Amino acid sequence: MANLQEQLTLLEVALRDALGEHINSSTLINEELTLEIKPESLRQVAKTLVKNAAFAFTQMMDLCGVDYSQYGLSDWETDQSTVDGFSRGVAEQPQADNVNFSARFAVVYHLLSMQHNLRLRLRVMLSENPPRVDTVTDIWASANWYEREAFDLFGILFNGHPDLRRILTDYGFIGHPFRKDFPLIGTVEVRYDPEQQRVIYQPVTIEPRTLVPKVIRHDQRYAEIKRD
């Protein structure tokens, strides 16, 4: 029986044969297969993946938005600790990894074929003004709330969605909090007013502050043991 890597390699070839003109690229890394497809081809690709018995990706496990506007930028460069070893510091020094994408936004779909016990990732790159792609709620019912979440947090519009409205933020919320240009500190806050007996908005009362980088100390528990 073929191992997972071999199965995904065969799947990649079959997908390219069936969907060649709709695929921009495909990658198979760490036993995970990703197809980048054209936005205008999404629905046709989705229907093929569901109805073609060779694929049978009948379940959509997850859908999420992505903002690549600052992808590849690091706040710190150090030989003694990873980027995760620091908090946001006094003076950031962005370091670019020279990673470029064809568009700022993307919608990523994670699919499961119960019949073949295989998983597939689809990625659709979307330009701004505003980012927009067709809904797949009539193909995978589970996409309904996921598309609303991507709209709420990233401002991605889904053409044909039956009820595209915010799902996590407040009804009067302005902006999309998972976009990279969304401010880390807001300008308004909410609180319950006992006199009015309702929740009201008011200017934010938290003072902005800049955190200091964490200090890296050498720990003898991780020191190399010198042997004679």
The tens digit of pLDDT for each residue in 100-129 reads 677 899 999 999 999 999 999 999 999 878
Residue-wise DSSP of the chain: ---HHHHHHHHHHHHHHHHGGGEEEEEEETTEEEEEE-GGGHHHHHHHHHH-TTT---EEEEEEEEE-TTTTEES---SSS-GGG--S-SS---EE-----SSSEEEEEEEEETTTTEEEEEEEEE-SSS-EEE--TTT-TTHHHHHHHHHHHH--EEET-TT---SSS-TT--S-TTSTTS-SS-SEEEEEETTTTEEEEEE--PPP--PPPPPP---GGGSPPP--
Q: List pLDDT tens digits, range 194-207.
A: 999 998 988 888 77
Q: Domain boundaries in the chain? A: 4-222
Per-residue pLDDT of the chain in tens (228 residues, 90 and over written 9): 579 999 999 999 999 999 999 999 999 999 999 999 999 999 999 999 999 999 999 999 999 999 998 787 765 555 555 555 544 444 455 554 445 677 899 999 999 999 999 999 999 999 878 999 999 999 999 999 999 999 999 999 999 999 999 999 887 788 899 999 888 777 788 889 999 999 898 888 877 665 555 555 565 655 565 555
Q: What is the domain class of 4-222 according to CATH?
A: alpha beta
CA-closest candidate to residue 126, choices 78, 177, 179, 79: 179
pTM > 0.95: no
57 and 50 in contact (C-beta within 8 Å)? yes
Torsion of CA 183, 158, 163, 43, to 10 degrees: -150
Cα 56 to Cα 117: distance, rounded to the nearest angstrom: 10
- Does residue 50 contact residue 56 with C-beta atoms inside 8 Å? yes
